[in-house]
Amino acid sequence: MGKVSAFGLFAICSFLVFSCNNKVPIVSEKAPVKEEILPPSIPEGAVTPAFNGKIEIKVVFTDNPTSASANFPKLKYNKSKAILMEFDDAALTVTNAYEKLSNTFYTDGCGNKKNYSLGLAVNGKNQYNNKEIGLYTDFAATYAQRLPLIQKGMDIMNHSYYHNEDGNFNNGKDRVKNVRDLDEMILLNERYKMNTLVVPSNYVGFHKAASAYGYIGGTSQGTFDDFVQIGKYNPKNKLSDIKPFNYLAIRRAFSDDWSNNGAQWELANSLFASNAFDFFEIGTHGIKDPKAVQNFNQWIDNIVLKAKDVAIFCSLREFLEYQYIKDHITKKETIAGKTLTITMDYATILNKNISWYDLSLLVNSDKAISSVSINNPDFTLSFNKTQKLININKRKIKW
């Protein structure tokens, strides 16, 4: 074998670090490497504190109701299905995915469009050359590239400071350090606080470390530590299996096969074919060539066609934070004349990393709704009088 230049070796090593479980081909030493250093990218505006107060919603009916109450639907926006997705290893092609996702929508049941979104599982430094992954172009999505996607609904997920236990640079088996150091790096350079984990490779101990650090949940194809995972044998999951939790581990599917033979196609088709399961989560290393991008776009179009607006397509974090909040918030209701007052106290939400404070409510009453109001302008309010659906939304993206 001929000598590999230092420049070519850098290309090889930088490529290899972005694999999880799968073997990847060696990059040719002739492959051009365009490297540029970009500064960290931080959202504009002041940091708003975590919300731990009360909100009050007033529902006014057309006449005095015999009875009235409000309950949380099992999924946000009263959807019946969910698809959760993430791109691993800060995949650069998440930018290609968002060209499609940011222009693909479901509705919130109240006349507002919500674009499809997902998570980006990132590492901190390259284990071969110790370069900070978020700063360097053309290998992974940089801090600067991530920010506009966060503003379009993307979440950043913890995938360990170093991806592997070995390599020129590593933290060995110190899971706590890998979780903590990456969390601190992302907070410093993106002013973003993570709340979910993607286990790197199949390493044990990461779920425990993430839970101890205060995260809300994590995912893996097969490693769950001592947590009873959602998806005992496969990633076709039921919402009824989710009980109130502080940390939830979910079994996900994984596919780098962006052809019609990829696992993602069978999962999506099966999801909408029956009520055998309610949601699945899937990861990928990205869509790495024009054919893969085309197949990804076709897959998304197929989901839109078959979902008929009954599904939410989002990150693990957005999904889990709704489940967590609805199960932990303190809700009280009073009726006076034509008005149902719903008071919800976020002080009982113990997780301190919440990004999506969203909740949906279904009102049960024998009288029609005349109007709905909320006492906190930081939350957006929408409602559907016919379906008696109320949504409140608030997202924090800067810490």
Q: What's the pLDDT tens digit per position in 237-292?
A: 999 999 999 999 999 999 999 999 999 999 999 999 999 999 999 999 999 999 99
> Are 150 and 259 members of one domain?
yes
> Are 138 and 278 members of one domain?
yes
Last residue of a domain, one of 266, 285, 317: 317
> Are 329 and 313 members of one domain?
no
pLDDT at 147: 98
Question: Is 334 domain-assigned?
Answer: yes
pLDDT at 25: 32
Confidence of residue 39 (pLDDT cuts 50, 70, 90): confident
Question: Is 33 domain-assigned?
Answer: no
The pTM (predicted TM-score) of the whole model is 0.91
pLDDT at 16 over 70: no
- In sign, the C-alpha dihedral spanning 279, 283, 224, 183 is negative
Residue with tokens 């007033």: 58
> Are 126 and 269 members of one domain?
yes
Confidence of residue 171 (pLDDT cuts 50, 70, 90): very high
Count how many domains the chain has: 2
Predicted confidence (pLDDT) per residue in 105-117, tens digit: 999 999 999 999 9
Predicted confidence (pLDDT) per residue in 292-322, tens digit: 999 999 999 999 999 999 999 999 999 999 9
pLDDT at 27: 31
Question: Is 15 domain-assigned?
Answer: no
pLDDT at 8 over 50: no
Question: Is 185 domain-assigned?
Answer: yes
Residue 218 near residue 199, CB atoms below 8 Å: yes
Tell me, letter by letter, the H, E, C secondary structure of 149-209.
Answer: HHCCCCEEEECCCCCCCCCCCCCCCCHHHHHHHHHHHHHHHHCCCCCEEECCCCCCCHHHH
Average pLDDT, the chain: 93
Percent of the chain, pLDDT > 90? 89
pLDDT at 395: 98
Question: Is 348 domain-assigned?
Answer: yes
Confidence of residue 33 (pLDDT cuts 50, 70, 90): low
pLDDT at 31: 44
CATH code, 197? 3.20.20.370
Query: Higher-confidence residue: 389 or 6?
Result: 389
pLDDT at 202: 96
Question: Is 30 domain-assigned?
Answer: no
> Are 200 and 272 members of one domain?
yes
pLDDT at 220: 99
pLDDT at 13: 39
Q: Distance (Å, rounded) from C-alpha 39 to C-alpha 29?
A: 28
> Are 244 and 377 members of one domain?
no
Tell me, letter by letter, the H, E, C secondary structure of the chain.
Answer: CCCCCHHHHHHHHHHHCCCCCCCCCCCCCCCCCCCCECCCCCCCCCCCCCCCCEEEEEEEECCCCCCEEEECCCCHHHCCEEEEEEECCCCCCHHHHHHHHCCCEEECCCCCEEECCCEEEECCECCCCCCEHHHECCCCCCHHHHHHHHCCCCEEEECCCCCCCCCCCCCCCCHHHHHHHHHHHHHHHHCCCCCEEECCCCCCCHHHHHHHCCCCEEEECCCCCCCCCECCCCCCECHHHCCCCCCEEEECEECCCCCCCCHHHHHHHHHHHCCCCCEEEEEECCCCCHHHHHHHHHHHHHHHHHHCCCEEEECHHHHHHHHHHHHHCEEEEEEECCEEEEEEEHHHCCCCCCCECCEEEEEEECCCEEEEEECCCCCEEEEECCCCEEEEECECCCC
Last residue of a domain, one of 317, 341, 363: 317
> Are 64 and 95 members of one domain?
no
pLDDT at 4 over 90: no
Question: Is 383 domain-assigned?
Answer: yes
Confidence of residue 18 (pLDDT cuts 50, 70, 90): very low
Q: What's the rounded mean pLDDT across residues 164-187?
A: 98
pLDDT at 337 over 50: yes
pLDDT at 37: 84
- Domain extent, residue 114, equals 79-317
Question: Is 194 domain-assigned?
Answer: yes
Report, in angstroms and rounded to the nearest whole number, the Rg of the chain calculated over CA atoms: 22
